[in-house]
Structure 1
Amino acid sequence: MRYQDPSTRSAGLPADAAVREPASASPNPIRVSSWAEIQDVLFADSWVPEIGRYRSRYAFRGLSDANYPLETTLMRLGGGYAQLERHLLRNFRKYAHRRVVERDSVWHWLSVAQHYGLPTRLLDWTYSPFAALHFATSNIDKFDRDGAIWGVNYIAAHRMAPELLRSRLEYEGANVFTVEMLSESVKTLAELDQLRDEPFTLFFEPPSIDDRIVNQFAFFSMSSDPTLAIDRWLADYPDIWMRIVIPAELKWEIRDKLDQSNVTERVFFPGLEGLTAWLTRHYSPRG
């Protein structure tokens, strides 16, 4: 799983498309003012009376800049990206070694391709609000601007999925799809796109490809329309999401407290890459 900084774009996008205010941004976003307040907001509505446990139903995504849209890497490719999607995936399957996937399905291949950085219609999310906080505050070059955490109720999102997919979740007694469940229900992206004229969004868990997927508590969202950013889709469903704005002046405190809690690159990116990223950031001077 890679949280690619949305400011990293190809030259194919217009210059004025680099950063836009999400169309779905609430007129009253939740702007926190303290470490304690952000904990309360992130874990609000997590009590599930049916089971007597605290189990949040939100998918979280942290952004270093509050103005970044929820665009996929495929969208950032620019040009006729929707038509290029099948070519990208076809050639990835052709040149990647087949041992990288446990099963030859489009959903397995998409998961692996996204994980290793191929532009896809998938978007990275996490079950962990602390992982989202990490990704909102890991880029110290962005500490002069507000960050944000998006939260989407994936159970509510799935209520708007086509009957074929809703019934599969009900049959499994699950809240989120697996690649196996999708493979047995929908064979291709074209078949997914044709399930219903009105676009919908799914959340699914990838295979545990490596420790990054596991440690980041990661899963993906996917739209039936590759040209529709999820924040645009969410604009029609204001009751199923929240957008928490993290003021720039609060980022250092959050960052230091996350580091003390061992919520760092060293954990989320096991190996020398994560270790060097953590050490570089940890020893960088403030200001």
Structure 2
Amino acid sequence: MREVRPRSWNELMDVLHGESWNPDLNRFRSPYVFRGQGHDAPLTTSLQRLAGNTRDIERHLVRAFRKYAEANVRTRDLLWYWLSLGQHHGLPTRLLDWSYSPLVALHFATADEDHYDQDGVVWMVDAARTNTRLPQALRDLLDREGTSVFTVEMLEMLSAQGRDGLAFDTELTWLDRFEDEMGRPFLLFLEPPSLDQRIVQQSALFSMLSDPDADLEAWIRAHGDAVQRVVLAAELKWEVRDRLDGSNITERTLFPDLSGLSQWLRRYYRRREDAPPDAALPPQAQRRSPDDPQDER
């Protein structure tokens, strides 16, 4: 796995947008999906952070969520819709959030100023390469659809094959069957339905390991040819944050409701208390003394 530590905004952009040229299309289309973290936290799912047997807990969580959420939402009665909806609203699931956008990933790596004294990280995964480790039936389905990311409808097709009345809360058993055939866990990416504008604005997608107990970071490190780990140095965070704000990558646009608006305003108008040393500033931002001659206008 390649790990890089950009020293400037320009270097950071070069890394995040690297390998984007697609000669088949004659267009810039990055093969990567991105995940930003404000500090070097493990790549664990919210389900794994609960105590107990993840498979048993998952079954109970999804069944209860579906039961009580039906009074508030109307969605297709498919497991993958309920998992996507639950993940979107904070339910512990085996899914992990990613984005097609490197700038959205940078937002989440710089959104919490409590972590500005620590290095952040942006994970870059080439989904097309990780798909080569999928079971053949899943690769064939992606090839037929001409995509590298599954939709809920595509996964429902796999769930339904040979199901014959399988109970709703055991529709994930096909993952176990394919995993047994492979002899190891596999990773797939799921594009959720556009449940609301947050998913759309964040260019969101989810990753999912076939084994909900498996360590995603260990899996990624074992398949390092498809992964880059970009370290966002603590000393770069303020500049990155300010440049994102100037590019309209903020809570107001990524969480388009009143809560997102309030989060953005609270953060945007917070005064920075730690002034950087003059030597750390770009030339145009360095402070002049009162006695310095001013450029003639």
TM-score by length of 2: 0.85
Unmatched runs of 5 consecutive residues or more in structure 2:
161-170, 274-297
Distance 1:155 1:108 in 2: 24
Deviation at 1:82, TM superposition (A): 3.3
Distance 1:159 1:98 in 2: 41
Q: 2:69 aligns with which of 80, 96, 100?
A: 96
Instruction: Tell whether the 8 Å contact from 1:100 to 1:112 is kept in structure 2 after alignment.
Output: no
Show the 5 A alignment for 1:126-141: 126-141=99-114
Show the 5 A alignment for 1:110-121: 110-121=83-94
Distance 2:257 2:223 in 1: 40
Q: 1:196 aligns with which of 164, 172, 179?
A: 179
Closer, same or farther: CA 153–165 of 1 in aligned 2, 3 Å? same
Aligned to 1:68: 41
Aligned to 2:127: 154
Aligned to 1:222: 208
Deviation at 1:101, TM superposition (A): 4.9
Aligned to 1:234: 220
Instruction: Tell whether the 8 Å contact from 1:266 to 1:274 is kept in structure 2 after alignment.
Output: yes
Distance 1:38 1:101 in 2: 42
Unmatched runs of 5 consecutive residues or more in structure 1:
1-25
Distance 2:249 2:140 in 1: 37
Of the structure 1 ranges 137-146 and 185-194, higher mean CA displacement relative to structure 2 is found in: 185-194
Distance 1:108 1:122 in 2: 12
Q: Which has the larger radius of gyration?
A: 2
Deviation at 1:78, TM superposition (A): 2.4
Distance 1:136 1:201 in 2: 23
User: Identity rate of aligned residues, in percent?
Assistant: 51
Alignment deviations for residues 223-278 of structure 1 (CA, whole Å, 9 cap, x no partner): 10001132111121110000000110100000001101110000000111001100
Secondary structure in 2 matching 1:221: strand
Of the structure 1 ranges 101-110 and 276-285, higher mean CA displacement relative to structure 2 is found in: 101-110
Distance 1:62 1:78 in 2: 25
Distance 1:255 1:235 in 2: 28
Deviation at 1:83, TM superposition (A): 2.3
Q: Structure 2: which amino acid aligns with 1:160?
A: R
Deviation at 1:102, TM superposition (A): 3.2
Secondary structure in 1 matching 2:272: coil
Q: Structure 2: which amino acid aligns with 1:237?
A: H
Distance 1:107 1:133 in 2: 28
| Structure 1 vs Structure 2 CA RMSD | 1.3
Of the structure 1 ranges 72-81 and 140-149, higher mean CA displacement relative to structure 2 is found in: 72-81
TM-score by length of 1: 0.88
Alignment deviations for residues 25-48 of structure 1 (CA, whole Å, 9 cap, x no partner): x5x620111000000000101111
Aligned to 1:246: 232
Q: Structure 2: which amino acid aligns with 1:117?
A: G
Distance 1:168 1:60 in 2: 23
Secondary structure in 2 matching 1:267: helix
Deviation at 1:56, TM superposition (A): 0.6
Deviation at 1:133, TM superposition (A): 0.5
Instruction: Tell whether the 8 Å contact from 2:158 to 2:174 is kept in structure 1 after alignment.
Output: no
Aligned to 1:275: 261
Secondary structure in 2 matching 1:195: helix
